[in-house]
Amino acid sequence: MANQPNDHLYQLIKSLTKAEKRGFKIYATRSGNEGAKFIKLFDAIDKATSYDENAIINKVKGIHKRQLSNLKAHLYKQILTS
């Protein structure tokens, strides 16, 4: 079900402007979190032309299939908070 092309996180990231994406990256890295997995996930989804979980998992080192759901939820909350 989460592998559908209408994934809410994918749509949210793609709807952000360049300034909003920059603001999120500044917000997310404020505490030395430059290497955080949710930031890597954000970058991978932002660069993707279509939503494909398997491609994202293969592209981002350190993210496993069983972690993806929690990372997506955390990233979604972080974007909305920023």
Residue 1 lies in a domain: no
Q: Write down the pLDDT at residue 4.
A: 54
Residue 25 lies in a domain: yes
Q: How many domains does the chain have?
A: 1
Residue 59 lies in a domain: yes
Query: Around Cβ 69, how many Cβ atoms within 10 Å?
Result: 11
Tokens coding 55 = 């491609």
Residue 75 lies in a domain: yes
Cβ atoms of residues 61 and 24 within 8 Å = no
Query: What is the dihedral sign for C-alpha 1, 38, 12, 49?
Result: negative
pLDDT digits (tens, 9 = 90+) for 51-75: 999 999 999 988 999 999 999 999 9
Q: Which range of residues forms the domain containing residue 69?
A: 8-81
| pTM of the shown model | 0.86
pLDDT digits (tens, 9 = 90+) for 3-47: 555 589 999 999 999 999 999 999 998 877 777 899 999 999 999
Identity (one letter) of the amino acid at 69?
A: S
